[in-house]
Amino acid sequence: MRTPFFLLIVSVCLLGCKKKHAVIPFAREPDFAKGESFIHVQNDSAFYYFNLVVSNSGDSLQIAMAYNSMAAIQSDEGDYFGSQENLLMSLRYLDEKKERDSSCLSSDYNELGTSSLNLKNYEAAIHYYDLALKFALNDGYKLIFLNNKAVVYQKLRAYTKAIAIYNDIIDKNKADKRAYARVLSNRARAKWLQDSSYSAAPEFWEALQIRVAEKDLWGQNASYSHLSDYYTHTHPDSALIYADKMYAISRQLSSPDDELEALQKLLLLGFPNHIQRYFARYQFLNDSLQTARNNAKNQFALIRYDAEKNKVENLRLQQENTERWLQIIQQRIMIYGGIVVVAFGVITTVIWYRKRKKSIIREQALKASKKVHDVVANGIYRTMTEIEHNDVIEKDKLLDNLEDLYEKSRNISYDKLEYNSVPYHDEIARLLGVFKTERISVLTVGNDKLLWESVSKTAKIEVKYVLQELMVNMKKHSAANKVFIKFEKIADEIKIQYTDNGIGFSDEVKKGNGLKNTVSRITSIGGNVIFGSGELKGAKVLISFPILVA
């Protein structure tokens, strides 16, 4: 059980750096003490009492620390945006010129760095960790913040900067064996990622031996993850053994995020007769984790709502007269502002129309080219794939497919949206299922009816063709035999992660029209595409786009 008071939040940085919290002596109010007593026992009750401190306390530092504690609880539950909101509120009550506020300032900035790291906003994370270092009064905390900063550089693949930080702090951590093992293992991983020929095994094993001797389960979890990744392409049997050890430790720690990571390794490394069991556990755990985090977010929002409701009722009568005068002023502003807006709108429309007229021919040509590639070319390749992997060819089905391609090619010039009576998640499942063979395993997570309910028809069509393009490229170029696609909804965005164990994207493939059309399609619905190979081999594509209701 961690220290009750949350003044220093240290992220679970790079697989297994345990969170640590500093305690600063101060006179705790009763509600604050109650909040501390419920942490990790009943987090919703802890959140409730810290929220009472925020609402009723007259001590600015104690309010700031209460916001910090609420943010820590939200971060533990995966609510990083809610955590950031409360950390920014905490900073409002702190004075950078007061030494008594320094520890809380360093804690707030460190946690903001952690949230930014978890949200993959790496530049912001570095900025916040630098601010945490600026206000840190304790050398031990500075070493932790520097380790966190090195982790961000590692994520950015700025390995030289990360290694330089690890070299600077590793000897300073020798008094703390667990901290020394963490830095030693992280540094070895950074060196290996920078140079795949680097022999990192001795350092990984030394760190693991220290962690076993110290009974540091979180550290052992990190070591097994590092060793599994290190041996994946040179000794897959050893990589499988370490992935299995990580899986066992993560379950012992009741850490669903680490268990999901271990299962993902086992899916790529495990024996064929075990994959279905790993996949079932992965899907169950992923769904359960998302549900638990969503419920926690709703519970925190409800607690805040109930507290604010009482405050609003007390202020309502005082605000009525002010609001009445504001309404009169707003009405006048709206009348005069409306006149200005209309005039400005007319001028803007004329300018826009002239520019749009010049570009419309170019846009139509590009759209036609994309449709020919995605609808006709990839459609033909998909039909070829079905023929290739079916010993018995049904003539009627083949004719139906060809007739469907013929109709789609005829309708390209009409630029009409497609209509399909098959539920969209079934349509995606069928599309991906075409590429399953005795050699190629295609696994998906999260492709269910609820995920797609709020997605517009236009976005669905674009996503379908993007997935088709990725699968065609996989079949033609990658030499992969395992494909893993994860669908999830985070806030108001759909995120799709494609991973395979093939040769990755060559320069020739990256320059092809197919991947250019993939970027163009996702961009057209306000989304973003990132191509890469991750930290290990194979292709990795991250797709995200906002949910715009049709």
Domains 195-286 and 418-550 share a fold: no
- Which tens digits make up the pLDDT trace of 206-249? 999 999 999 999 999 999 999 999 999 999 999 999 999 999 99
Strands 441-445 and 482-490: parallel
The token pair at 440 is 């190629």
User: What Å distances lie between residue 123 and 126, 127, 376, CA to CA?
Assistant: 5, 6, 42
User: Which CATH code of 3.40.50.2300, 1.25.40.10, 1.10.3470.10, 3.40.630.30 fits the domain covering 195-286?
Assistant: 1.25.40.10
User: Strand 528-532's sheet: what is its strand order?
Assistant: 441-445, 482-490, 493-500, 540-546, 528-532
The token pair at 427 is 């349509």
Instruction: Name, in order, each residue with C-beta under 8 angstroms of 191's C-beta and a sequence gap of 6 or more.
Output: 159, 163, 198, 200
Residue 430's pLDDT is 93
Residue 414 DSSP label: G
Nearest-CA neighbor of 463 among 416, 490, 437, 498?
Answer: 498
One DSSP character per residue, 132-151 reads: HHHH---HHHHHHHHHHHHH
Residue 342's pLDDT is 77
The token pair at 212 is 């076993």
Give domain 418-550's CATH superfamily. Answer: Histidine kinase-like ATPase, C-terminal domain (3.30.565.10)
Give the whole-angstrom CA distance, residue 36 versus residue 47. 9
- Which tens digits make up the pLDDT trace of 189-203? 999 999 999 999 999
User: What Å distances lie between residue 428 and 9, 266, 293, CA to CA?
Assistant: 41, 25, 27
Residues comprising the chain, all counted: 550
Strands 528-532 and 540-546: antiparallel
Give the whole-angstrom CA distance, residue 432 versus residue 430. 6
As a whole number of angstroms, the longest Cα–Cα distance in the chain is 82
Give the whole-angstrom CA distance, residue 66 versus residue 403. 66
Per-residue pLDDT tens listing for the chain (550 residues): 333 334 343 333 333 333 444 445 556 788 888 888 887 777 778 888 888 888 888 888 989 998 998 888 888 778 888 889 999 999 999 999 999 999 999 999 999 999 999 899 999 999 999 999 999 988 888 999 999 999 999 999 999 999 999 999 998 888 889 999 999 999 999 999 999 999 999 999 999 999 999 999 999 999 999 999 999 999 999 999 999 999 999 999 888 889 989 899 998 988 888 888 888 888 888 887 777 667 656 666 656 555 555 555 545 555 766 676 677 777 778 787 777 777 777 777 767 666 775 565 455 545 555 555 555 555 665 666 666 666 666 666 666 566 565 555 645 544 555 556 789 999 999 999 999 988 899 999 999 999 999 899 999 999 999 999 999 988 888 888 999 999 999 989 999 999 999 888 776 666 566 678 888 899 999 999 998 875 667 889 999 999 875 5
HSE-up of residue 291 (Cα within 13 Å, Cβ side): 7
Instruction: Name, in order, each residue with C-beta under 8 angstroms of 499's C-beta and a sequence gap of 6 or more.
Output: 483, 484, 485, 534, 538, 539, 540, 541
The token pair at 350 is 């004329």
Q: Looking at this protein, which amino acid is placed at residue 374?
A: D
DSSP percent split of the chain into helix, strand, coil, nearest 5: 70, 5, 25
Report if pTM > 0.85. Answer: no
Give the whole-angstrom CA distance, residue 16 versus residue 311. 42
- Parse the chain into domains and list their residue ranges: 195-286, 418-550
Give the whole-angstrom CA distance, residue 220 versus residue 224. 6
Whole-angstrom Cα Rg for the chain: 28
